[in-house]
Amino acid sequence: MANYSVRNQVAIISLCSPPVNALSSDVRRGILDSLKKAEQDVKVAAIVICGEGRTFCVGADITEFKSEFKTFPNLFELVDILESSPKPIVAAIHGHAFGGGLEVALACHYRVALSSAKLALPEVKLGILPGAGGTQRLPRLIGIDSSMQWIAFGDEYSAQIAANIGIIDRIFPSNADILESAVQYAQSIIGKSLINRRVSKLPVKDASKVSHIMEKYKQIVGKKSRGAIAPMVCLEAIKHAALLPYVEGMKKERMGIEALMGSDQSKSLIYMFFAERQVRNWTIPGTGINSKNTKPIKVEKVAVIGLGTMGRGIVLSLLKAGIKHVSVMELNKTARENGLLFIKNILEGYAARGTISETQKRSMVDALKPVSNFEMLKDTDLVIEAVFESMSIKKDIFAKLGQVCKPSAVLATNTSALDVDEIAMVTPKPKQVVGMHFFAPAHVMKLLENVRGSKSSPQVIATAMNMGQRMGKVTVLVGNCHGFVGNRMFRHYTVETDFMLEEGAYPEQVDTVLKKFGFAMGRYQVGDLSGNDIGYRMRTKFEMTNKQQPPGAPERERHGVRYCPLADFLVESGRLGYKSDGKGWFRYLGKNRELTVDNEVTSMIDSYRRRNKIVPRKINGEEIIERALYPLINEGFKILEEGIASNPMEIDLILVHGYAWPRHTGGPMFYAHLIGLPKILRVIERHWNNAGLREPHWEPSKMLVRLVKNHGNPDIMSWTTLERETVRSAL
């Protein structure tokens, strides 16, 4: 709804729909009714639209998208009614003016804002376009070039930037009273002509350059938003603002939003939006313990052990989160000096770019406390161990931490696959131990996979979850198993793509198909980028690599299971990827590391096939997608079945934020939901029947089988509930 009042000739329409004043049908109706009152009241000479509470308006109510077009006034109708008002309307912006909220402001005749306000047209991130005139009004205010930048990427901008380019007419200090300031501003414009204040009537300044600008953005969007439809539709709609009169341009915008709204990509992106918020409400499956009934321990002093790649990133994340005391312990002098230098350089860079102020930078540097022995960690609230991935080294460290740290200290291990319980058992208080799996580089990557050990106390889990959120990370709680969620699932992707190389595909073909699906890089380029030796080290641990096999051992089998040694040959021939002179699955040439196919790799694959008498066959794109992605989905169901993740959203967040799974498909589980579970199961069963026990990743998940058998194609939101009911009724 919207509240209405009048103050000194100025009518105030305040949006009132906590927490973020989304433009639900009630709010839109409230604005319209208030506007009518203001127009009819002869004592009113100007109108202010503002938001109650923490923000101006975050845009259309996403939960009402399905009925958006049906109720009067829809957003599209409301903005034109506002703009044509005979009385001047001032939008008073604090907090956020996002999406439809900014479109409402663009339809007002003036816009004022607190300097702390943020503005954006982020609809593209929901797979749609600004469908209430945003693509037609913004170009008339700031030109085609800036509009394409704002709308095709959907990023937020400060009020000051918006003022610099002409969106905001007046900025007030962040501590000003926005309503009071806006009312005074409205009084100052009473009686002024509204000609030139109705944005839809303005010409587009850089209209003549539209083709050139369009080409530029098509290139950028093609690279940055691979496979996503909405960014291109946004560009097309903005182009029409340059070429067509406003009314005609609006018709094109309408066609654009109707095509995008309800599309699979938009459904996926909306699912992601809510998943990112839902995940804050963590729960331990089957226990009743959750974020609502568990309080975190107060954390003021944190320590990080190890200043390698992971440790440095973790320290930076803690500093950015505002932790005022971060002890860093690295016993190797060179690693310590390099690590500290790296951290300081990154902070310098942030300050130079204006991401943080000089004062903030200084206080972050002051917060760094190098320590040289475990004793010095005795009053630390949270210790994050980030040393080399070795069970014995980690156990050694936890044994020491267990002796010196105070009993309430939370002891976290940053491991990507090791058993958190085994590490915990060396301490006198295993309930204080938890896993915090960061992704490299930890100060950049948004994902944190927190691992609850079987003994981790609820408070300790709450503390790790809270710390992740303080660091601004998408923090997901998972159970303890080898590889946790992400690495456990992703393994199958690499295993099965390598099998396709044996059978007839080549790395470039696999990567092209995966990139078309939406991955920023294919499986083989990712291997080259992160280093093919990482997987090799892991396989060495399990005595699987080519070199570790006794003479005469079967080349394509390990521990009775199908195995492809091509990745081993690659590493053993020194092709680790980018870092080994640009040689990996591909060859990277020149300063720009241009990816080229390397005949050496092709010959290696061909001769391996000949040696093993494999007759190569043609593998098409559909097969590549099924075989690369379905085993991973199958594993996702096994993870749900075991309670390692509590719901599919958690799995999807991990794969999207940690493994570059394309966001516009919603992650593997949502993708499975879009394809339909019966088809997913059919394909998995077909491969399982062909491959049998030698390829266990094709063994259908029991949960998937039960869901399809008992419920056909149930909605993703009901999977875990249905599974629980089925299991309970079987007991």
Ligand X SMILES: CCCCCC/C=C/CC(=O)SCCNC(=O)CCNC(=O)[C@H](O)C(C)(C)COP(=O)(O)OP(=O)(O)OC[C@H]1O[C@@H](n2cnc3c(N)ncnc32)[C@H](O)[C@@H]1OP(=O)(O)O
Distance CA 190, CA 1 (A): 27
User: Judged by CB under 6 A, does residue 253 bind ligand X?
Assistant: no
Pairing of strands 89-93, 110-114: parallel
User: Judged by CB under 6 A, does residue 59 bind ligand X?
Assistant: yes
Nearer to ligand X, 63 or 164 (CB): 63
Phi/psi for 476 (5° steps) reads -115, 135
User: Judged by CB under 6 A, does residue 263 bind ligand X?
Assistant: no
Q: Please identify which residue in 10, 12, 13, 20 interacts with ligand X, judged by CB under 6 A.
A: 20
> What is the smallest separation between the CB atom of 102 and ligand X, expressed in angstroms?
8
Please list the alpha-helical segments (H only) found in 244-390: 246-260, 264-278, 309-320, 333-353, 358-367
Among 19-27, 298-306, 343-351, 402-410, which window interacts with ligand X (CB under 6 A)?
Answer: 19-27
Distance CA 75, CA 134 (A): 11
651 alpha-carbon distance from chain centroid? 12
Q: Which residues contact 393 (CB under 8 A, 6 or more apart)?
A: 387
Nearer to ligand X, 119 or 423 (CB): 119
Q: 359: which 2 tokens? A: 């004062």
Pairing of strands 110-114, 433-438: unpaired
Q: Please identify which residue in 10, 22, 210, 284 interacts with ligand X, judged by CB under 6 A.
A: 22
User: Judged by CB under 6 A, does residue 76 bind ligand X?
Assistant: yes
User: What string marks each residue from 116 to 155 as x (binds ligand X by CB under 6 A) or -?
Assistant: ------xx--x---xxx-----------------------
User: Judged by CB under 6 A, does residue 168 bind ligand X?
Assistant: no
Q: What Å distances lie between residue 603 and 569, 609, 610, 611, 619, CA to CA?
A: 12, 10, 10, 12, 18
Asked if 410 and 383 count as a contact pair (C-beta separation under 8 A), the reply is yes
User: Judged by CB under 6 A, does residue 61 bind ligand X?
Assistant: yes
Asked if 511 and 521 count as a contact pair (C-beta separation under 8 A), the reply is yes
User: Judged by CB under 6 A, does residue 51 bind ligand X?
Assistant: no
> What is the smallest separation between the CB atom of 729 and ligand X, expressed in angstroms?
32
Distance CA 461, CA 464 (A): 5
Nearer to ligand X, 270 or 571 (CB): 270
Q: Please identify which residue in 21, 74, 85, 497 interacts with ligand X, judged by CB under 6 A.
A: 74
> What is the smallest separation between the CB atom of 123 and ligand X, expressed in angstroms?
5
Among 63-71, 166-174, 603-611, 664-672, which window interacts with ligand X (CB under 6 A)?
Answer: 63-71
Nearer to ligand X, 123 or 330 (CB): 123
290 strand-pairing partners? 283
User: Judged by CB under 6 A, does residue 292 bind ligand X?
Assistant: no
Among 66-74, 542-550, 567-575, 719-727, which window interacts with ligand X (CB under 6 A)?
Answer: 66-74
Asked if 358 and 398 count as a contact pair (C-beta separation under 8 A), the reply is no
Among 67-75, 107-115, 295-303, 683-691, which window interacts with ligand X (CB under 6 A)?
Answer: 67-75
Known catalytic membership, residue 626: no
User: Judged by CB under 6 A, does residue 502 bind ligand X?
Assistant: no
Closest listed residue to residue 314, CA positions, set 298, 335, 325, 328: 328
Which of the residues 103, 496, 626, 650 is marked catalytic?
A: 103
> What is the smallest separation between the CB atom of 103 and ligand X, expressed in angstroms?
7
Q: Please identify which residue in 69, 342, 374, 499 interacts with ligand X, judged by CB under 6 A.
A: 69
User: Judged by CB under 6 A, does residue 19 bind ligand X?
Assistant: yes
User: Judged by CB under 6 A, does residue 78 bind ligand X?
Assistant: no
Which of the residues 68, 83, 123, 508 is marked catalytic?
A: 123
Known catalytic membership, residue 52: no
> What is the smallest separation between the CB atom of 76 and ligand X, expressed in angstroms?
3
# of chain residues touching ligand X (CB under 6 A): 26
Nearer to ligand X, 69 or 578 (CB): 69
Closest listed residue to residue 104, CA positions, set 66, 63, 59, 148: 59
> What is the smallest separation between the CB atom of 100 and ligand X, expressed in angstroms?
3
Nearer to ligand X, 126 or 451 (CB): 126
Among 73-81, 380-388, 410-418, 434-442, which window interacts with ligand X (CB under 6 A)?
Answer: 73-81
Nearer to ligand X, 131 or 435 (CB): 131
The radius of gyration computed from the CA coordinates of the chain, to the nearest angstrom, equals 29
> What is the smallest separation between the CB atom of 120 and ligand X, expressed in angstroms?
8
> What is the smallest separation between the CB atom of 101 and ligand X, expressed in angstroms?
7
User: Judged by CB under 6 A, does residue 63 bind ligand X?
Assistant: yes
Distance CA 408, CA 379 (A): 9
User: Judged by CB under 6 A, does residue 58 bind ligand X?
Assistant: yes
> What is the smallest separation between the CB atom of 61 and ligand X, expressed in angstroms?
4
Nearer to ligand X, 257 or 672 (CB): 257
> What is the smallest separation between the CB atom of 63 and ligand X, expressed in angstroms?
5
Closest listed residue to residue 433, CA positions, set 468, 467, 404, 408: 408
Closest listed residue to residue 129, CA positions, set 269, 227, 230: 230
Q: What Å distances lie between residue 511 and 500, 519, 635, CA to CA?
A: 12, 9, 22
Q: Which residues contact 28 (CB under 8 A, 6 or more apart)?
A: 71, 73, 74, 75, 78
Q: Token pair 């794969």 is at which residue?
A: 655
Whether omega for the bond prior to residue 554 falls within 30 degrees of 0, making it cis, is no
Q: 292: which 2 tokens? A: 């609502």
User: Between residue 82 and residue 101, which ones bind ligand X under the rule CB under 6 A?
Assistant: 96, 98-100
| Encoded amino acid at 415, one letter | T
125 alpha-carbon distance from chain centroid? 11
Q: Please identify which residue in 27, 257, 639, 654 interacts with ligand X, judged by CB under 6 A.
A: 257
Distance CA 540, CA 546 (A): 9
Distance CA 325, CA 383 (A): 12
Asked if 556 and 612 count as a contact pair (C-beta separation under 8 A), the reply is yes
Catalytic residue positions, numbered: 103, 123
Residue numbers at the binding site for ligand X (CB under 6 A): 19-20, 22, 58-63, 68-69, 74-76, 96, 98-100, 122-123, 126, 130-132, 257, 277
